[in-house]
Amino acid sequence: MNTIVELNTVTKLYGEITALSNISLEIPRNQIFTLIGPNGSGKTTLLKILALLEKPTKGTVTFNGELVKAENTDKLRLNSTMVFQKTALFDTTVAKNVAYGLKLRRFSKNEIDEKIRDALKIVRLEGYEKRRAKKLSGGEQQRVSLARAISLGTELLLLDEPTANLDQKNVSITEAAIAQILREKHNTIVLATHNILQMKTLSENVALLLNGELVNFGKTDKILEDNEKLAGFARIENIFSGVSRLTEEGTAIIDVGGCLQIEAAIKKEGKISICIKPEDIIVSKSQFTSSARNVLKGKIIEIYDLGSVVRLKVDAGKSFTVQVTKRSFKDMGLNLNMEVYLAFKASSVQII
């Protein structure tokens, strides 16, 4: 059987609020499957239904070929584990947190000890067994939650925004752990996120949710072509599609339309999608000498004051989002409709 869970015309209502509307979806076995969409799109609700923690208002769920009913829900629920976005740990040691579910499932002490060691190794928390879980950093606590889920060895592992609000070190460790779980444990993993780069790196198939509806489904590369829908909510900005050609210098020139070409430190030809992080773009009121391969002239069309930082929308043939500190914004005296220059390195251009 190639499908572990199948949803058939599933709708979920909370009073008058429609969280999910007429969702039909098959989750392939033994791969990482991503649910992508903005906050409020229904990702968490869908995960809870897949975990059998919530019942659909309408529609059916089939798990391992067995139709989920009231009389078999508890039995089937043992085959899945969900890690929530908000970490909930007991105020005790890391080892006792990981052991909690194992004790409920009546594993022997030797089995529990072995599973704890194995799970903590995967999330790179070896030697943390005796530390107090709530004294750890937020990223480390999230990894303890992941270890607790891994240790149970369920067929289906459901992860709700597992790297939300984590620093880059913990993001990298968590993503590596997720890939290792699939490689070594052969679980089916469903990952809810709105991080496009994470989706591209980890998943084989993707379902795109917007306003509780399934608006696209298929292979990751296919979903990445849907730039207009993705760009509105993704954690990356400055997403462009175009045609790439290689240069003699070993870089690529990407024609993204609007008489705009972007040079990138990549070696890929043909149709391509790229992004540039707002913080990787330098802004100046006057043209300046720079080692950056990309220098563009544009006009400020929007300003967003976010406290310590300010985000600018700059029309430079295409709309670019740029992030500067509040101090730099004031020192340069930036205003709407002001002409500015943007600069970013070829190495700052990433393929998505």
Residues 6+ positions from 135 with CB-CB distance below 8 Å: none
What is the C-alpha to C-alpha distance for residues 121 and 286, in angstroms, rounded to an integer? Answer: 52
What is the per-residue pLDDT across 55-112, written as a single tens digit (0 to 9) for each?
999 999 999 999 999 999 999 999 999 999 888 899 999 999 999 999 999 999 999 9
- With 80 as the cut, is the pLDDT of residue 246 above it? yes
CATH of the domain spanning 239-351, picked from 3.40.190.10, 1.10.630.10, 3.40.50.720, 2.40.50.100:
2.40.50.100
Hey, how many other C-beta atoms are within 10 angstroms of the C-beta on 58? 13
What is the C-alpha to C-alpha distance for residues 197 and 192, in angstroms, rounded to an integer? Answer: 13
* pTM of the entire predicted model: 0.69
What is the per-residue pLDDT across 295-334, written as a single tens digit (0 to 9) for each?
999 999 999 887 778 889 999 999 998 989 888 999 999 9
Contact predicate 341/295, CB 8 Å: yes
Residue 118 amino acid letter: D
Contact predicate 180/122, CB 8 Å: yes
What is the per-residue pLDDT across 53-62, written as a single tens digit (0 to 9) for each?
999 999 999 9
What is the C-alpha to C-alpha distance for residues 243 and 236, in angstroms, rounded to an integer? Answer: 20
Count CA atoms closer than 13 A to 325's CA, side-chain side: 3
- With 90 as the cut, is the pLDDT of residue 156 above it? yes
Which sequence spans correspond to the domains of the chain?
3-231, 239-351
3 state DSSP class of 133:
helix
CATH of the domain spanning 3-231, picked from 3.30.70.20, 3.40.50.300, 3.90.1150.10, 3.40.50.261:
3.40.50.300
